[in-house]
A and B are shown apart, each in its own frame.
Chain A
């Protein structure tokens, strides 16, 4: 357990030593700030339906939200295993008395925390809004929670892709493809003829599960869904990392 903390702490620090975190962070902050401003401007317009609220759009309601998710997750995770495989430091790490699951979780947590910090930087925007209008903090809270859990899904798959290659660019690209696939599974239900199967496929929609979060509803089903996907990805990553140790030929 102690190893996990040490390793995670190392991953976290490594993020802030590399320029990626700052570049991604800066652009992310810039974009979210712009989106926020845009939403405030649009929602303020008297022609717009007054029941629409900020959190519904800021979290999962705009094209920008999903775009930034698809871009940031690969960027944050591409380095995690790929770089260490390329330089040979993974070998040094695995030759130490640490378990594979500790290594995998540490990489994931490092990315997840970094992602959390990026989104935490948007909180002041809401406080800014608070100065001019009454805010319903419920949906804002669930919005952030949902975003964080969704981040876990994408980051875990990003980590998995990174464990498969030495090349960061390939890792990033594969992550993007996988994430797009995950994102669009739900839509495939339209092509499934069997009504029961169709409903099942529709249930797998990441987008649909997110709607509750953006509306202020905290339902355990999306939480479980996102966490399950995360666990699956991390489990697969562990298998990849442990593979040479167990594969006999």
Chain B
């Protein structure tokens, strides 16, 4: 099956800097791929190249088998693009705007009205369809922009930071919509808000300073080499003495005392990846007769992995 997106050795160089340095990545049909990176990593540049707004310096990008440099028009007929800026025409009403966009995206005249109705409903814009876009709140504007990407029923959606600036309620709604869309459409979603990625994306590509540093499922990334193990425990006793003893446990990289509640102190232990130090810690507590009140392994978040990966790159 043709890949939805196939980028090979994509490079984008400006006079002053290299935005993308020979990156290669693939997005399979039907999947929701997260494109993660710190600000300035090259996410928006990549997305602009995919949508034909920018030309690469070198490398090849194919979308549904079509070449981005020579078949741009055809590609644009098959994709929906949501830019970071959520740019709309404030003087038009929601319905008018979507109708106009449907026209330039070649939605057949006979189907246009129904298509607009359907899209309005899908994005929960039915109530505001007669409102001027300039009067809408940010959340609604974002939804209008998203509706615009769907109006031509594209097979590939490219969304640049779709939830930035939304309140938690709206974020959840957008997330649900994206998951729903993901059932029938390929989605490439760029963001730096990590919890979202965890929930919506099947695979994640992490980019930093113009290079790809990881490609995997969120699950694998959390469990992988770059994930550190963190264990929280609460013990009764002298923190200095306990801290020193804990640091001696094989596999423990760092001991950090945190809260203190009366006689009990909570510690965060960082262990080497792949190593479960809980048993060793428990035995040590028994041996030294410390009362153990809590012993939990903290699920490494994607955020930790991300920071670890991108900090590493910055240091090297």
A residues contacting B by CB (< 8 A) are 2-3, 6-7, 10, 14, 17-18, 87-89, 91-92, 94-99, 244-249
As a 0/1 sequence over residues 228 to 272 of chain B, the CB contacts with chain A under 8 angstroms (1 = contact) are 000000000000000000000000000000000000000000000
**Complex Cα gap A249–B100 (Å):** 34
- Residues on B with C-beta less than 8 A from A14 are 89, 91
- Residues on A with C-beta less than 8 A from B14 are 249
**Complex Cα gap A61–B128 (Å):** 53
- Residues on B with C-beta less than 8 A from A99 are 73
B residues contacting A by CB (< 8 A) are 12-15, 48, 51-58, 72-74, 76-77, 79, 81, 83, 85-89, 91, 100-101, 103-106, 145, 148
**Complex Cα gap A99–B76 (Å):** 11
Cβ-closest chain A residue relative to B88: A89
- Residues on B with C-beta less than 8 A from A97 are 73-74, 76-77, 104-106
The answer to whether B53 touches A244 (Cβ under 8 A) is yes
**Complex Cα gap A87–B52 (Å):** 19
- Residues on A with C-beta less than 8 A from B106 are 2-3, 97
The answer to whether A96 touches B83 (Cβ under 8 A) is no
The answer to whether A245 touches B52 (Cβ under 8 A) is yes
Q: With A3-B104, A98-B104 known to touch, is A91 a contact of B55 (CB < 8 Å)?
A: no
The answer to whether B13 touches A87 (Cβ under 8 A) is no
Of the A-B pairs whose beta carbons lie under 8 Å apart in the complex, a sample of 22, sorted by A's number, is A2-B103, A2-B106, A6-B104, A10-B100, A17-B91, A88-B86, A91-B83, A91-B85, A92-B81, A92-B83, A92-B145, A94-B52, A95-B76, A95-B79, A97-B76, A97-B77, A244-B54, A244-B55, A245-B53, A245-B72, A248-B57, A249-B12
Q: With A97-B73, A244-B53, A249-B14 known to touch, is A7 a contact of B104 (CB < 8 Å)?
A: yes
Q: With A6-B104, A87-B87, A89-B88 known to touch, is A95 a contact of B55 (CB < 8 Å)?
A: no
Q: Dominant SS at the A interface?
A: helix
The residue that B103 contacts in the complex, of A6, A89, A245, A249, with Cβ under 8 A, is A6
- Of the candidates A87, A89, A92, the one having the most CB atoms from chain B within 10 angstroms of its own CB is A92
Nearest chain B CB to A17's CB is how many angstroms away? 4
Q: With A3-B104, A88-B83 known to touch, is A246 a contact of B55 (CB < 8 Å)?
A: yes
- Residues on B with C-beta less than 8 A from A96 are 76, 101, 104-105
- Of the candidates A14, A96, A244, the one having the most CB atoms from chain B within 10 angstroms of its own CB is A96
**Complex Cα gap A17–B48 (Å):** 30
The answer to whether B103 touches A92 (Cβ under 8 A) is no
- Residues on B with C-beta less than 8 A from A18 are 91
The answer to whether B87 touches A88 (Cβ under 8 A) is yes
**Complex Cα gap A244–B79 (Å):** 19
Nearest chain A CB to B6's CB is how many angstroms away? 20
**Complex Cα gap A31–B149 (Å):** 46
Q: With A14-B91, A91-B87, A99-B73 known to touch, is A249 a contact of B57 (CB < 8 Å)?
A: yes
The answer to whether B87 touches A245 (Cβ under 8 A) is no
Cβ-closest chain A residue relative to B74: A97
The residue that A89 contacts in the complex, of B55, B76, B89, with Cβ under 8 A, is B89
The residue that A248 contacts in the complex, of B55, B74, B83, with Cβ under 8 A, is B55
- Residues on A with C-beta less than 8 A from B48 are 91
**Complex Cα gap A17–B96 (Å):** 14
The residue that B53 contacts in the complex, of A2, A7, A87, A94, with Cβ under 8 A, is A94
